[in-house]
Amino acid sequence: MSPSKLFEPSKLGPITLANRVVMAPLTRNRAVEGLAAGPLTAEYYAQRASAGLLISEASQVSQQGQGYQDTPGIYSKAQIAGWRKVTDAVHAKGGRIFIQLWHVGRISHVSLQPDGGAPVAPSAIAAKTKTFVGGAFTDVSAPRALELSEIPGIVAAFRQAALNAVEAGFDGVEIHGANGYLLDQFAKDGANKRTDTYGGGIENRARLMLDVAKAVSEAIGADRTGIRLSPVTPANDISDSNPQPLFDYIVDQLNALNLVYIHVIEGATGGARDVAPFDYGSLRKRFHGTYIANNGYDLALATKQLDAGAADLIAFGRPFIANPDLVERLKTKAPLNELDRATLYGGGAKGYTDYPTLKAAQAAE
């Protein structure tokens, strides 16, 4: 058998990736003072720099956009400086890194919001889900509906965050349009009951996501702007009554903006791939840029989908937490380290930077 396409180099807009393995964005809640990425975070990403592309953990574009304790931001000088150390460490190892730009919308808690106010949402409907604050999983707070006059400020926050990301040395940005956060909340009719130009039909519900994609791509270049989508995930209590035409429309519009990639969570985030019927091939066909496929991939499925032309790059999530050298392990069909769930969210080096590479494990034998 010939080696898998997964290990071939690939172009992503203006940059060349060493292979087709992408590290998916993974929330780890280890930001330091001022919600900046610290030295451990630089070490963590540098350890994983053999991936063709790293996508950072979701990083809020404003204080209002934060929904969990100790997640990093990309809106202050200190945060830009913290991320600069991360991108320098990754680039020194020959890696490439995008940052994921995040606004959580209604998936937040008053204790994290400016002046202890309500989290914001398309409509004043609480999600039946929990967030992680004060070291514990806690019900999200009831949100308030955004005023129409506040929407330009949201778009501007994403735009400025993208400029900050370039200043911090990132190779590009990924807009978080997935998993029941603000842009997904606007797009899907389970959370959006607005009656203005941002609610109602598909074009109106998709408007905020597309406004953000346009503003970000105009600010830093469409060839450095990607987006993550999750058409059918039930994550964070999100739902839509008819996702296929919604996402067909969104992808047609993103295509017109020349975005460099769509990163598609196929199925339920971190769960079943067949949770609901959806034709991902339709998105693949419509979009002329790079298609990054995610969710439950292993070497066999990745190789199969790449060979079939169903994807260009494959994003791996949890396996990257426990395996800094995941690319090497996949290539040599080596066993994978097991994930320690107790150290996923928050803490220090344990379960973050101390997972051994194959080489380190063999040297210790």
Mind telling me the catalytic residues? Answer: 181
The CA–CA distances, whole Å, from 327 to 173, 314, 320, 323, 331 equal: 22, 11, 9, 9, 6
- Cα-based angle 128, 134, 135 (whole degrees, multiple of 5): 90
Q: How big is the site for ligand 8OZ, counted in residues (CB under 6 A)?
A: 6
Q: For residue 112, count other CB atoms closer than 10 A to its CB.
A: 22
* Least distance (Å) between residue 235 CB and ligand 8OZ: 6
Of 6 and 45, nearer to ligand 8OZ (C-beta) is 45
Candidates 232, 151, 228, 218; CA nearest to 188 is 232
* Least distance (Å) between residue 364 CB and ligand 8OZ: 31
Of 72 and 243, nearer to ligand 8OZ (C-beta) is 72
* Least distance (Å) between residue 236 CB and ligand 8OZ: 7
Site for ligand 8OZ in 56-75 (CB under 6 A): 58, 68
DSSP 143: P
Locate 247 and state its tokens.
Answer: 């996402």
Of 345 and 355, nearer to ligand 8OZ (C-beta) is 345
Which x/- pattern over 129-168 shows residues binding ligand 8OZ (rule: CB under 6 A)? Answer: ----------------------------------------
Site for ligand 8OZ in 241-300 (CB under 6 A): 269
* Least distance (Å) between residue 262 CB and ligand 8OZ: 15
Return the residue matching tokens 């409907």.
125
Of 5 and 130, nearer to ligand 8OZ (C-beta) is 130
* Least distance (Å) between residue 209 CB and ligand 8OZ: 15
Q: Is 81 exposed, middle or buried (0-12, 13-18, 19+ CB in 10 A)?
A: middle
Locate 32 and state its tokens.
Answer: 């330091």
Locate 222 and state its tokens.
Answer: 């469409």
Site for ligand 8OZ in 211-240 (CB under 6 A): 235
Of 4 and 269, nearer to ligand 8OZ (C-beta) is 269
Position among 10, 19, 27, 50 found at the interface with ligand 8OZ (CB under 6 A): 27
* Least distance (Å) between residue 270 CB and ligand 8OZ: 8
Of 209 and 235, nearer to ligand 8OZ (C-beta) is 235
Of 68 and 83, nearer to ligand 8OZ (C-beta) is 68
343 belongs to the binding site for ligand 8OZ (CB under 6 A): no
DSSP string, 32-92: BGGGB--HHHHHHHHHTTTSSEEEEEEEESSSTT--STT--BSSSHHHHHHHHHHHHHHHH
* Least distance (Å) between residue 233 CB and ligand 8OZ: 9
The beta strand positions in the chain, using DSSP E, are: 10-12, 15-17, 21-23, 53-60, 97-102, 120-121, 130-133, 136-139, 144-145, 172-176, 225-229, 261-265, 290-294, 313-316
Site for ligand 8OZ in 171-210 (CB under 6 A): 179
Residue 296 makes CB contacts below 8 A (sequence gap 6+) with: 266, 267, 271, 272, 273
Residue 6 makes CB contacts below 8 A (sequence gap 6+) with: 19, 20, 21, 299, 302, 303, 306, 314, 330
**Sites of contact with ligand 8OZ (CB under 6 A):** 27, 58, 68, 179, 235, 269
